[in-house]
A and B are shown apart, each in its own frame.
Chain A
Amino acid sequence: MVASKKTKKTHESINNRLALVMKSGKYTLGYKTVLKSLRSSKGKLIIIANNCPPLRKSEIEYYAMLCKVGVHHYNGNNVDLGTACGKYFRVCCLSIIDPGDSDIIKSMPGDH
């Protein structure tokens, strides 16, 4: 019971941090631009939805491993991730280029 409560609280905090990034930072949404940001080493954190196809997920993780960039597996599917970004479309993966005022980069990459 305690574990699930903790995940709910961290989940909300991710959403809050993501909302702050959307407002104040730079980001790209979508698989193509995520790979582009990794290739040009501009991405600082990658967030992947949980219903991302496993091949695509592995590919993004491999690029991120080469780049030494953290990957966060979002606890929700692409619909939820799109909603968390404040968009009306589905987002399977997104890359945070500049976190703005948010501390998402410092607090998130500990998990994988």
Chain B
Amino acid sequence: MVKFLKPNKAVIVLQGRYAGRKAVIVKSFDEGTRDRPYGHCLVAGIKKYPSKVIRKDSAKKTAKKSRVKCFVKLVNHQHLMPTRYTLDVDLKDVVSVDALQTKDKKVAACKATKERFEERFKTGKNRWFFTKLRF
């Protein structure tokens, strides 16, 4: 009886091009909108996970390995698997529904989430979120 599809919840995308990727819910539209008359969420996820960084890597190599590629998408609730993890990264100002209208706004939103994800990855927190799901 507790709602769990809330912002900052880590989810796994189940269908589509990004199936198997981890994402974080930015905004949830439980009742749906007129264009999408079903419950859906705006998620920001990882398109390409960062590689494993080892101690003997040089600084240049570490920087290269820590790159994260992101996507922003509206996904039906049915195509998400919620997890017990959360990722408290503030993406509300960066990612919004009107960022998905045009290509360059979408690219700008993805770039900004990429920066936020990369700095979170570098701190070493939320390690589960940045590891690839093996299946």
A binds B: yes
A residues touching B (Cβ–Cβ < 8 Å)? 35-36, 39-41, 43-44, 63, 65-69
* Number of residues from B at the complex interface, CB < 8 A: 11
Q: How far is the CA of A66 from the CA of B84 in the complex (A)?
A: 7
Would you call B39 and A39 a contact (CB within 8 A)? Answer: yes
Encoded as 1 (CB less than 8 Å from any A CB) or 0, chain B from 1 to 43 comes to 1111100000000000000000000000010000000010000
Which residue of chain A lies nearest to B81 when distances are taken between CB atoms in the complex? A59
The 8 Å CB contact of B30, one of A40, A63, A65, is A40
B82 interface hit (Cβ, 8 Å): yes
Least CB distance from A79 to B in Å reads 27
Would you call A68 and B2 a contact (CB within 8 A)? Answer: yes
Least CB distance from A28 to B in Å reads 15
Contacts of A41 in B (CB 8 A): 1-4
The 8 Å CB contact of B5, one of A39, A44, A65, A69, is A39
